[in-house]
Structure 1
Amino acid sequence: MIKSMIREIKYLFAQKSLIHQFTKREISNRYKGSYLGIVWSFITPLMMLTIYTFVFSVIFQARWGTTGETNKVEFALLLFTGLFVFNVFSEVVSRAPSLILFNSNYVKKVVFPLEILPIVALGSALFQALISYIILLLAMLILTGTFYWTALLFPIIILPLLLISLGLAWFLASLGVYIRDVGQIVSIVLPALMFMSPIFYPRSSIPEEFQFVYSLNPMTYVVEDMRSAIIWGDLPHWHLLIMGIVIGGLFAVLGYIWFKKTRKGFADVL
């Protein structure tokens, strides 16, 4: 089993050039034909941040926590942190069911590694997340005049979510070939998951009887630790982070195994 896993990891690593090429093309095609091109990668998160902040902090008069002492600038930064973390997961999972369907021309090419398509989708989402991350750091410097070294822990803190996203992407990409309704189900589940995660509110505001439910949501720990590290300069909860990486790794392994087992029937269905 271990030898087989090592062999598969080496196989995927050997495709790094192809993964880089496809990811670059994916990012380029996203804004192909538009006048502003990649500039939209900066404009889009800024606009969404402005809209969400206006709606929640101005119209709904939302406040962070129970004290209500958070000003609009800090509220915007806290909200933006949660959103850009969730958007990585959302983009990968929402695209996963159609990855094979939209690339059906590669299915009958025996030598083409279909396994890289979810990795490419993750790479594209991560590129957008890095831009949002840079915007957040600049906003911290400009609006609050602070920068905490703990913000550099971003790659480690988000790793559990990346692994879970990749595992789900392999699973859903395969399942989407056989059950076309999967995409519709995912489009319903994702908004529900967003509001069931502490993105627009802190975990401390959740009633005690629902705390257990939120403790089962891996998004909770990633969002909370990311906020703590970037906005307040606190270290993440290392024991929960390590546990998250282990669970995320398990998700990735199981998703990959499922994909390898089921890909043999792709050509027959498509």
Structure 2
Amino acid sequence: MINSKDYMLSKLWRQKSLINQFIKREVIGRYRGSYLGIVWSFINPLMMLVIYTYFFSVVFKAKWGSGVGESQVEFALILFCGLITFNLFSDVITRSPSVVINNPNYVKKVVFPLEILPITILGAALVHFLISLSILTLGLILLMGVFNWTIVFVPIVLLPLLFMTLGLGWFFASLGVFIRDIGQFLGLAVQALMFLSPIFYPISIIPESFRVFYYLNPISYVVEDMRKVIILGQSPDWTWLIIGTLIGMLLSWLGYLWFQKTKGGFADVL
């Protein structure tokens, strides 16, 4: 019986080599068959940054307001920062329900650790996030002449999101085996959550009576802190980081327990 976080961590640590191999395969396999291969991982975020910068600086002439993002270029970079952060979460959540279904051969192998499959998705998403982050950093330097030392806080800022995403990944990977429609539902839910998160607008423009819903959304804190440490050169919300990390660790552990308790029935369904 799995009844401790220590057991979970030790078991996953023993599988680190296999996890690394699967992450590498996932990253490379995404563009398998294309001529440019993994180069698309650099082209896609670069094109996103160019498109956002053009449309918001030339077409919409948008500004973030409140003394931040007064220039259209800065607005585009702020928007891009929020999007790549949210995409790290959404990529894992939308793919998790099908990760076990798409690998039925591993389910039939008694010795194969199925719990690494959601970790593989998260690892691949993190690789693509880091590529996008490098594009964002390059854009800040070339377009605005800015490079803030507070970017070193990015790993800490991401901790709550990574823990929560992994926990939900385990939960939905299991649920997706028994309820095939969950993937369709999550696609819609993730889209709704994107517009309910401060990605395309700052929280400051939300009426006070509705802000409570944004403060209950953990994505809001992560997106705001990412902008602080990368673009604004400010320190993150340390109170949230402590609380959010603890909540994320708890959610990750519960998701792992759920996956372990339900995986015994995967073979019967598949």
Whether TM-score is above 0.5 comes out as yes
Alignment of 1:127-142 (within 5 A): 127-142=127-142
Structure 2 unpaired stretches of 5+ = none
Cross-structure match for 2:70: 70
Asked whether the equivalents of residues 56 and 72 of structure 2 are also in contact (C-alpha less than 8 Å), the reply is no
Cross-structure match for 1:247: 247
Structure 1 counterpart of 2:161, one-letter code: L
When structure 1 is superposed on structure 2, of 115-124 and 68-77 the one drifting more is 68-77
Question: Separation in 2 of the partners of 1:69 and 1:20?
Answer: 39
Alignment of 1:158-177 (within 5 A): 158-177=158-177
SS at match of 1:102: coil
Identity of aligned residues (%): 60
Shift of 1:20: 0.3
Alignment of 1:179-218 (within 5 A): 179-218=179-218
* Deviations 1:63-83 (CA, angstroms, capped at 9, x unpaired): 213568611110111011001
Cross-structure match for 2:123: 123
Shift of 1:53: 4.3
Shift of 1:37: 1.4
Shift of 1:55: 4.4
Shift of 1:139: 1.1
Cross-structure match for 2:83: 83
Cross-structure match for 1:156: 156
Asked whether the equivalents of residues 177 and 269 of structure 1 are also in contact (C-alpha less than 8 Å), the reply is yes
When structure 1 is superposed on structure 2, of 112-121 and 72-81 the one drifting more is 72-81
Asked whether the equivalents of residues 23 and 123 of structure 1 are also in contact (C-alpha less than 8 Å), the reply is yes
Cross-structure match for 1:92: 92
Question: Separation in 1 of the partners of 2:146 and 2:51?
Answer: 24
Alignment of 1:214-225 (within 5 A): 214-225=214-225
Question: Separation in 1 of the partners of 2:231 and 2:67?
Answer: 18
Asked whether the equivalents of residues 107 and 267 of structure 1 are also in contact (C-alpha less than 8 Å), the reply is yes
Cross-structure match for 1:231: 231
Q: Are the structure 2 counterparts of residues 239 and 2 from structure 1 closer, same or farther at C-alpha, using a change threshold of 3 Å?
A: farther
TM-score of the aligned structures, taking structure 1 as reference length: 0.95
Calculate the aligned-residue CA RMSD, in Å: 1.7
Shift of 1:48: 2.2
SS at match of 1:201: coil
Structure 1 unpaired stretches of 5+ = none
Cross-structure match for 1:22: 22
Question: Separation in 1 of the partners of 2:59 and 2:144?
Answer: 24
Asked whether the equivalents of residues 69 and 78 of structure 2 are also in contact (C-alpha less than 8 Å), the reply is no
TM-score of the aligned structures, taking structure 2 as reference length: 0.95
Q: Are the structure 2 counterparts of residues 144 and 52 from structure 1 closer, same or farther at C-alpha, using a change threshold of 3 Å?
A: closer
Question: Separation in 1 of the partners of 2:103 and 2:2?
Answer: 31
| Matched pairs, number | 270
Alignment of 1:1-20 (within 5 A): 4-20=4-20
SS at match of 2:64: coil
Structure 2 counterpart of 1:208, one-letter code: E
Shift of 1:203: 1.1
Question: Separation in 2 of the partners of 1:262 and 1:248?
Answer: 21
Asked whether the equivalents of residues 65 and 204 of structure 1 are also in contact (C-alpha less than 8 Å), the reply is no
SS at match of 1:65: coil
Shift of 1:146: 1.7
Shift of 1:93: 0.3
Q: Are the structure 2 counterparts of residues 24 and 67 from structure 1 closer, same or farther at C-alpha, using a change threshold of 3 Å?
A: closer
Cross-structure match for 1:262: 262
